[in-house]
Amino acid sequence: MRNHQGVHPRLGATDVCPFVPIQNVSMQDCVAISEKLGERVARELNIPVYLYEEAARKPERKNLANIRRGEYEGLKKKMQNPNWQPDFKAEFNARSGALVTGARKFLIAYNVNLNTHDTQAAQEIARRIRTSGWTIDKDGRKIHKPGIFDAVKAVGWYIEEYQCAQVSMNLTDYQKTLPHQVFEKISELAEEKGLKVTGSEVIGLILKQPLLKAGRFYFEKVGRDLNSVSEKELIEVGIEYLGLNDVQEFDPEKKILEYKIGV
C-alpha cells in the first residue's frame, strides 16, 4: 500500500469484505460471520478492522464512505483519534492498511458511459444523482444539497481502457433505486450538457429482479403487452436498452447471480 495509487477510494489492500445474505441465511448470520472474520484478521494478520453497515457498532461507521474518509494515506493519524479506533485493534499496518468488513444488502456496481472525455461533466452528473449530493453556490462555496436518488453512491471519472468518461455508481439498495432509473436520469442530464449516454456496464454480478423490472419498463415504454412476454425476453430487452454490451459482453449466464449459481 505504501506505493499504491489509484482513483477509487480505499483504506487498505483488501479494503472491504462484505457478507451478503442471498439464500438460506439471515442478515444477522452475516453480521456474526463478519465479526468472526474481523477478530481473526486483527489477531492473526495484525491488520486493523472496522465494521460497517449492519455490523456497525457506531452510527457513523454504518456508511463505508465515512470509514474510508482520509483513505490509506490518512489512516495512521485517523487511528490515533479515540473516535476512530478500529473495532478490532491492531497496530497501524503500513503494508496492508486496514480492512472494512460487515453485512449489507446486495449491492449493484453499475456504471454509465458518456460519449465524452470530459471528467468534469461526469462528476457534475454524479453529484446530481447521488444520495449525499452537493453543489457550488454563487460564492463558490461547496454546500450540501440532497441528490436525486436514494441509496446511490456515485463518482465521475475517465476510463482510459474505454476512452470515455463514466458515471460510476454503487446502488446499495435496488429496492429503492433501480439501474434503469439512474440510466434514464443520467441520459436526461447528459442531454442537457449536449452529451449522450452510449451504454452501461455491471461490475461483478446482478440479481435477476432488477433486469426483469428494466425489461418491463422498456416494454411498457413502447406500448408492448406484457402478458405474453417471457422472462428471457424481458431480460434481453433490459440488456439491450441499458446498453450492457457497450464496452464488454454481458452474458446473462455469467452475470446474473441466480443463473450463475443455479437457483
Catalogue all structural domains in the chain, each as residue range(s) with its CATH number: 15-103 (3.30.990.10), 108-261 (3.30.70.670)
pLDDT tens profile 210-243: 999 999 999 999 888 888 899 999 999 999 999 9
* Angle of CA points 95, 99, 101, to nearest 5°: 165
Residue 19 has pLDDT above 80, yes or no: yes
Q: Classify burial at 60, counting beta carbons within 10 Å of its beta carbon; exposed 0-12, middle 13-18, buried 19 or more.
A: exposed
135 falls in which pLDDT band (50, 70, 90)? Answer: low
Confidence band, pLDDT 50/70/90 cuts, at residue 263 = confident
* Percentage of the chain exceeding pLDDT 90: 88
Catalytic residue selected from 8, 117, 144, 180: 8
Interhelix angle 231-242/208-221, rounded to 10 degrees, is 80
Per-residue confidence (pLDDT) for residue 10, from 0 to 100: 96
The answer to which of 55-64, 113-122, 126-135, 241-250 has the lowest mean pLDDT is: 126-135
56/104 Cα distance (integer angstroms): 10
Tens digit of each residue's pLDDT (9 = 90 or more) over 54-90: 999 999 999 999 999 999 999 999 999 999 999 999 9
Q: Is the pLDDT of residue 136 over 70?
A: no
> pLDDT value at position 146?
82
pLDDT of 138 reads 73
* Distance spanning both ends of the chain, measured CA to CA: 39
Q: How far apart are CA 41 and CA 38, in angstroms?
A: 5
Q: How far apart are CA 22 and CA 150, in angstroms?
A: 22
In this structure, are residues 173 and 149 in contact, taking their beta carbons and an 8 Å threshold? no
Task: Report in angstroms the alpha-carbon separations of 182 from 13, 72, 191, 233, 262.
Answer: 30, 30, 14, 22, 28
User: Catalytic: 180?
Assistant: no
Is it the case that residue 143 has pLDDT exceeding 80? no
